[in-house]
Structure 1
Amino acid sequence: MRVIIFIGHHKVGSTSLQDYLSRNAVALSGAGILYPYVDFEGLAHFAARAAGHNPSPNALPINVREPHNALAFKMLATQHNGVVPGYHKGLPALPQMFHAIKQQIRYSQPHTVILAAEVFANFNGVSPRLIEQLTQQFPGAEFTLVATLRRIDEYLASWQGQRLKFGHQIEPLRGTGLDSYLKGIHFNYRRMVEGWLQVLPQATVILRDYAQVRAAGGSVADFITQTQLELPEGLAPERRENDSFHRSIYEIIRRANAALPQSNAAQLRRDLRDMTPNLELPPSHSIELFGADNRARMLDHFRPIDAWLGDVMGRQAFFEDLEVVSEQAGVPELEAARAALDLIGAREGWCKDEMAMQFMSSLADEL
């Protein structure tokens, strides 16, 4: 049996890949490819689809779409007596999650099992024992390890937006926000990947540059091509999931997360997310989040990581365009935020929250 483990990274189309695998899980299982579920909701959803029903015609429930993120969070929580994020509700105990996977393998007899979770990216940084615990559930399997890695400036810009979406209170990347990432798996890709290679020395290793993934047609198409999966016909197509904030509102959201109560900040985030596609904003990638000094520091710190990744893949460097990290985008972040505030302020009735409106008015004066 072959076990393919996609370990992320975050913000590289991982949610779209999980959504695709889950919506097609029944057809894939019939072709000998198992995308296993780990809880009652996922298994019930699979049974309903197998019976010809469509219980979630639009967005899938998160435990159904991302069962292996749920598994990874449960493993992390068990490892250090933590808690699983509240959006993964009603999960069974970890032994039951492993038992569910084993029973699906037992009864469906797949030739291929796919586990896909960007949360797996955190395992080596917490403890390599987590990698051992997971892979030991598949004795005798042939492993394929897949990871997609994004050029560091583009990745950190996107991950910063994801954290803002979660409501985190964080510093800007143009300031001390960069320093908080330098030692962890969101910057040190070697720390993310190396433990997996040590635990699975015989595994087939597929490390992909996100730019190559996009050029190949996106996360789903590239995953299928790179893993050489033979899929049945008639599968539901890929759809885009987990869109990012426009970078012109990063600073607005960042300050709102710090200044407003959680519920008010969450509503403001939703309002701004829905509004920005209708505003005449510059392209998101044209907004400079780091500044020249932090870009130079970022490139200097990342060069040895890039060299290590290149060595793993048998080439001199991993990212062919790494030097672009030092090049600034055209529109400074604060300038973009001021322009966005002006456009937002010109729209009447977009926000019903008086506290949020007062915040936006005071922020316009500050910026």
Structure 2
Amino acid sequence: MPMTDSADPSAPGPGGLLIHIGSQKTGSTALQNFLSANETALAGRGLRFLATGRRNISHNSLFRPLRGPDAAAIWADVAAEVAAHPDTLSIMSSENFFDRDIAAAMARHMPAGLRGACRVVAYARRQDAYLEAMYKQKTKNGREHLSPLDFVAKVGDEIADYRAILGAFADVIGDDAVILRRFERRALKNGDVIADFLGVLGLNMADADFVQPERDANQTLSRAVTEQMGALARHTKINVRELAREMILDPDGAPRRSRDVFTKGQCLQIMAHFADGNAAVCKRFIKDDDGPLFDMADLAPDAPDRYPPPQEELALYAQAQERIAAAIGRIERRNRARLFRG
């Protein structure tokens, strides 16, 4: 694989497999769009976006099959495609792969030769911010209607215990085969996940042959919006996916707000819960610095609480009602059939 001297030395060589496993809410869609849009240019640099199991821009469709009876056949197909291109590095990408079950499937079913030539790259977001984003996503789709802290209690250790998740992959392919990157602007090359991922491979995002990505594809809707959309998903036939798309296109600006799920005190509690695990992750997987896994400056004693005060919180819920009603009206006027599921 053609690589510059800035490439990560743990990245696989020609004929290997690099699996981008997410996690979710770390720019995976933007990265996948870039890989898909630049297949020809990447091929000229010794990289292939693996065809096996890829639908549209990602390998997300493999998540369920890899945990079922077809796992061995899928990994055999992946191994065959990688072997058919011995001079290139094959890349898989699915944010859903950030899961211990995928590591277990690799242990049980991935051919030994492929395991030896496999690396995974993961982007880790600070757990309080990650759980906020996941709360909004699950709530918006109507899948959860728990309080934020109950949501953390239910799924926090399952999806945000990075020591357990990354350790599961390392136990299969080795510690040095796990490339961990912090999903923080200060830690990403040029503050950008695509530039950072390409940097791992020794490539420059500014290369003139690359189609540059469009930005701001995934906006952070306010908690008030996601909770009210979730209620519509649970209690009506309104198509909340269509509604979410319309909200993002809101001519008045989508109701955006971050840091509106957990108070500063709750963020501190979440991070204290994961503190020992994060320290272990640093020691095991990040060898180029001795700092903490995440920047915690905004949670310092003298830092302001970014959670909305009561008046702003009330205004956010009122705004959410108005904007959702307006979006429903626009969809209904344009194409009423798209407003409802089924």
TM category (shorter chain) comes to 0.7 to 0.9
2:199 equivalent among 225, 249, 254: 225
Change (3 A) 1:70 1:203: farther
Change (3 A) 1:31 1:228: closer
- Where does structure 1 lack aligned partners over 5 or more consecutive residues? 43-62, 80-92, 357-367
| Superposed counterparts of 1:1-367, under 5 Å | 1-39=15-53, 63-66=55-58, 68-76=59-67, 78=68, 97-122=74-99, 124=100, 126=101, 128-133=103-108, 135-136=110-111, 138-139=113-114, 141-173=116-148, 175-185=149-159, 187-201=160-174, 203-211=176-184, 212=186, 214=188, 216-229=190-203, 234-240=209-215, 243-247=218-222, 248-261=224-237, 263-275=238-250, 278-279=252-253, 281=255, 284-285=257-258, 287-292=259-264, 294-312=266-284, 313-314=286-287, 315=290, 317-321=292-296, 324=299, 328-332=305-309, 333-342=313-322, 349-350=329-330, 352=332
Deviation at 1:297, TM superposition (A): 2.5
2-structure distance, mates of 1:106, 1:292: 50
Deviation at 1:194, TM superposition (A): 0.7
2-structure distance, mates of 1:347, 1:103: 48
Secondary structure of 1:64's aligned partner: coil
Q: Deviations over 1:99-125 (max 9, x none)?
A: 543443344333322222212111x1x
2-structure distance, mates of 1:267, 1:280: 14
Deviation at 1:69, TM superposition (A): 2.1
Indicate if the aligned counterparts of 1:162 and 1:244 stay in contact, CA closer than 8 A: no
Change (3 A) 1:323 1:243: closer
Indicate if the aligned counterparts of 1:172 and 1:251 stay in contact, CA closer than 8 A: no
Deviation at 1:11, TM superposition (A): 0.9
Change (3 A) 1:153 1:198: same
Change (3 A) 1:152 1:10: same
Q: Deviations over 1:217-253 (max 9, x none)?
A: 4221101112324898612223347513411412222
2-structure distance, mates of 1:155, 1:290: 11
- Where does structure 2 lack aligned partners over 5 or more consecutive residues? 1-14, 337-342
1-structure distance, mates of 2:272, 2:36: 40
Q: How many residues align?
A: 309
Which amino acid in 1 is paired with 2:135?
Answer: Q
**TM-score scaled by structure 2?**
0.76
1-structure distance, mates of 2:246, 2:240: 10
Deviation at 1:311, TM superposition (A): 1.3
Root mean square deviation of aligned Cα: 3.4
Percentage identity across paired residues of the two chains: 20
Deviation at 1:150, TM superposition (A): 0.7
